[in-house]
Each structure stands twice: as structure tokens, then as C-alpha cells.
Chain A
Amino acid sequence: MASETHAAGHGILHHHFDDLGQQRESNTLGMWLFLATELMMFGGLFLAYSIYRWQFPGAFHAGSQHLNITLGTINTFVLLASSFTMAMAVHSAATGNKQKLLFYLILTWLFGAAFLGIKAVEWTTDWKEGLVPGFHWFYYQEPANAAKVPELFNQWATTPDQVLLYFVVYFSMTGLHAIHMIVGLGVVGWYILLAARNQFVGGNDQPVEIVGLYWHLIDIIWIFLFPLLYLVAGFHPGGPH
């Protein structure tokens, strides 16, 4: 199996590598090094989250009540499913099945687009309700919501200013994540075109695997964002929004 791959892939071996095995190993290692720097970048935000939540726990409980847990759950489901279809795309490339590769790449792209679409719906709701710090922040000044301010003090021991801090963290983390999703959609879209032009045949399947690593990391980030941002105050079906 391996020798066939190598024999078929002589044209894809770059001159600075001894063989395809070494090239494959180097590509994987390089991508993991990049992912490590990505983790450092997101890590800074996760640290900011931790410090502020430790300092203002009530603000995070009250702030999370403004999010739509149903949409957040659907998005988690969508992103996990997209990781599966991406893994299947990598498998299809490795087995040289062009039709399945195209099918799973397109499915992955559609799941990614669905995620961003749902996120856009959530952000639009936040904007309308006046929950965007610095740009559209007036939720607690609205007469209808002013009654909730004493409730903030009594139930969560927090203030509107501290809830604003939760939303700064919320938009920073989901925003940086969404930027990565947009980049992922661009690359996967590009790879759909390349796959249609037979770019990943004849043993040149590894680029798909490398993009898969990036896609899975974005999934992992969301796996942590979902409980940390949405489920702070628990999940109560039919409960307060």
C-alpha cells in the first residue's frame, strides 16, 4: 500500500525532502507547530475569561442568561458533525475516492456556513437588544429592562457594567473563533475547487489532512466556548432567556 503511494507520487515530492514519508512527517509537524501558536492566542482569551469570571462570577451568570442556549447547542452539534465530515474527507482523499472527497468537503463547507449563519442570527439579536459593548449597549437602560437591574444586584450580586465585561469577553472569543471559521471556509472552498481539478489524486492527499487539522482545532476551541459562555448558569429547558 505504502510503496504504491510512493511510486505513484514521485511528482509531488519536493526536492528538499528525502522521501514522501519524511515530507509527510514534516508537513504534519509544521501544522501542529502552527496549531500550538493558535492555542497560545486563544489561550490569552481563555485566561482573560478565567480571571474575569473569578473576579465577577455573578456577571458571567447573569450575562449568559442573555444567550440562546438552543442555538448554541445546535451550533455545537453542527460543528461536531463538520469535524466528522472533515475526517471522512481526509479518509476519502487517502483512499483516492474523488467523488466522496468532493461530497464530504462540500458537506463540511455547508456545516461551517450553517454555523456562521446561526452565529449571525445570535449576534443580530444581541445587537437589537442593545447587548454589544461600545457600539450598541443600552439593554439595561431600556425602561422595560430597567426592572431587571435590582434583580442583577440581588440574585447575582453584579451590575450592568460587569455584565458589559462578560459581553466584551463573549464577543472577543466568539469573534476570533468566527474569523477562524471564515478562513476555514475559504480554504475548504478552495480545496473543493482543487479536488474537482484532480489535485489530490496520485498520492497527493496530504494537503487535505493538513487542512483537516486546522478545522478540527477550530472545533476544539468551540467545544470549550460552548459550556464556558452559554451554560454558566446551567441549562433549564424552557427557562429564562
Chain B
Amino acid sequence: MAKHATTHSHQASGGHGHHEGHGHGHDAHAGEHHIVPVSTYLAVISFLMVLLILTLVAAAFDLGALNLPIAMVIAVAKAAAVMYFFMHLKWSSKLVRLFATIAFAFLAILFVFSLNDYIGRGWVGMPTPWK
């Protein structure tokens, strides 16, 4: 590894910018192998189970228009915990994080532009053949 150290020296300097403060030095090398402690995984699965119960509790109350947003906020929190810890984004390089983010950015584009048309067309008096 030593003879190739120069290959990643630029990533090494970039990696220090988002230091998590744990002092492991895990982001010193973009591709370095970080072993996540079991306690972290136990905490995450506990969090996920609490959120699953919260999903059911929230669904047991009829909050009208808030039902769907609340369910989605809890689902996003679950998904974020899975991605950040189980899928190791917390310890991944900036490039990997960027790829993960871009996937959702394109999903957002798909949703915003499509629903903009479906929901908004009636507002401006344009013909809506599907109504």
C-alpha cells in the first residue's frame, strides 16, 4: 500500500474535511476499510423497530390530511437510518455519498415535474383529458 500512497493523497486531504469527531481516522483514505462496531448496529435496529411501532401508532389516529405526510416522514427516517449506518454512507467517501444523493435528486425531478403537470394543469384552465 505504501508505494501507492500518493495515488490517494488528494482524497486523504479531502477526507479530513468531514471528520466525524470519533477520532478513528477512518476517512483518511477514501477506500479504507472501516469496521463498524456491533453496538452501532444494535442501536440502529432498535431505532428502526421503535419507528415501526410509531408508524402503526400514527396510523391508528385519523389526522386527516396529515396522515400521509406523517407516515412518509417516519418512512424517510427509517430509510435514512438504513442508508447512513447499514449501508455505510456515514463512513463512505464523498463520491459515494454524491452518487447516493443524485439517485434521489433524479427521483425528485421525476416527481416534481410529473405531478406539477397532473396536479397543476387544472389550476390554469388548461384541458385535462384525464378528468
Q: Is B32 an interface residue (CB 8 A)?
A: yes
State the Cβ distance, B86 to closest chain A Cβ, in Å.
5
**B45/A80 in contact, CB under 8 A:** yes
Nearest B residue (CB) for A38: B103
**A219/B82 in contact, CB under 8 A:** yes
Count of residues in B whose CB is under 8 Å from the partner chain: 55
A54 and B96 CA atoms in complex are apart in Å by: 34
Count of residues in A whose CB is under 8 Å from the partner chain: 60
**A216/B55 in contact, CB under 8 A:** no
Q: Is B1 an interface residue (CB 8 A)?
A: yes
Interface segment among A20-28, A140-148, A176-184: the answer is: A20-28
Nearest A residue (CB) for B95: A29
**A32/B41 in contact, CB under 8 A:** no
A216 and B55 CA atoms in complex are apart in Å by: 19
Q: Out of B29, B88, B100, B106, which one reaches A2, CB within 8 Å?
A: B29
Nearest B residue (CB) for A23: B31
Given A2-B33, A25-B30, also A50-B1 (CB < 8 A): no
**A87/B86 in contact, CB under 8 A:** yes
State the Cβ distance, A55 to closest chain B Cβ, in Å.
7
Chain A residues in 8 Å Cβ range of B93: 25
State the Cβ distance, A107 to closest chain B Cβ, in Å.
13
Given A43-B107, A227-B71, also A216-B83 (CB < 8 A): yes
Q: Is A197 an interface residue (CB 8 A)?
A: no
A28 and B98 CA atoms in complex are apart in Å by: 12
Interface SS majority for chain A: helix
Most chain B beta-carbon contacts within 10 A, residue among A2, A39, A40, A217: A2
Q: Is B56 an interface residue (CB 8 A)?
A: yes
- The proximity string for A residues 133-169 relative to B, scoring 1 for CB distances below 8 Å and 0 otherwise, is 0000000000000000000000000000000000000
Chain B residues in 8 Å Cβ range of A55: 118, 130
**A36/B99 in contact, CB under 8 A:** yes
**B95/A234 in contact, CB under 8 A:** no
Q: Is B60 an interface residue (CB 8 A)?
A: yes
**B118/A5 in contact, CB under 8 A:** no
- The proximity string for A residues 51-84 relative to B, scoring 1 for CB distances below 8 Å and 0 otherwise, is 1001100000000000000000100110011011
Chain A residues in 8 Å Cβ range of B99: 29, 32-33, 36
Given A19-B4, A80-B48, also A39-B104 (CB < 8 A): yes
Q: Is B124 an interface residue (CB 8 A)?
A: no
Q: Is A103 an interface residue (CB 8 A)?
A: no
Chain A residues in 8 Å Cβ range of B90: none
**B115/A51 in contact, CB under 8 A:** yes
Chain A residues in 8 Å Cβ range of B33: 1-2, 5, 24, 94
5 further contact pairs, Cβ within 8 A, besides A21-B1, A22-B31, A220-B79: A2-B29, A29-B95, A87-B85, A216-B87, A227-B55
Which residues of A approach B to under 8 Å, CB–CB?
1-3, 5-6, 18-26, 28-29, 32-33, 35-36, 39-40, 43-44, 46-47, 50-51, 54-55, 73, 76-77, 80-81, 83-84, 86-88, 91, 94-95, 209, 212-213, 216-217, 219-220, 223-224, 226-228, 231, 234-237
Would you list 30 pairs from A and B whose C-beta atoms are within 8 A, ordered by A residue?
A1-B33, A2-B29, A3-B1, A20-B31, A21-B29, A21-B32, A22-B7, A25-B95, A26-B31, A29-B95, A29-B96, A32-B103, A33-B99, A36-B99, A36-B102, A39-B107, A40-B103, A43-B106, A84-B86, A87-B36, A88-B41, A91-B36, A94-B33, A212-B86, A220-B78, A220-B83, A223-B75, A224-B75, A228-B71, A234-B67
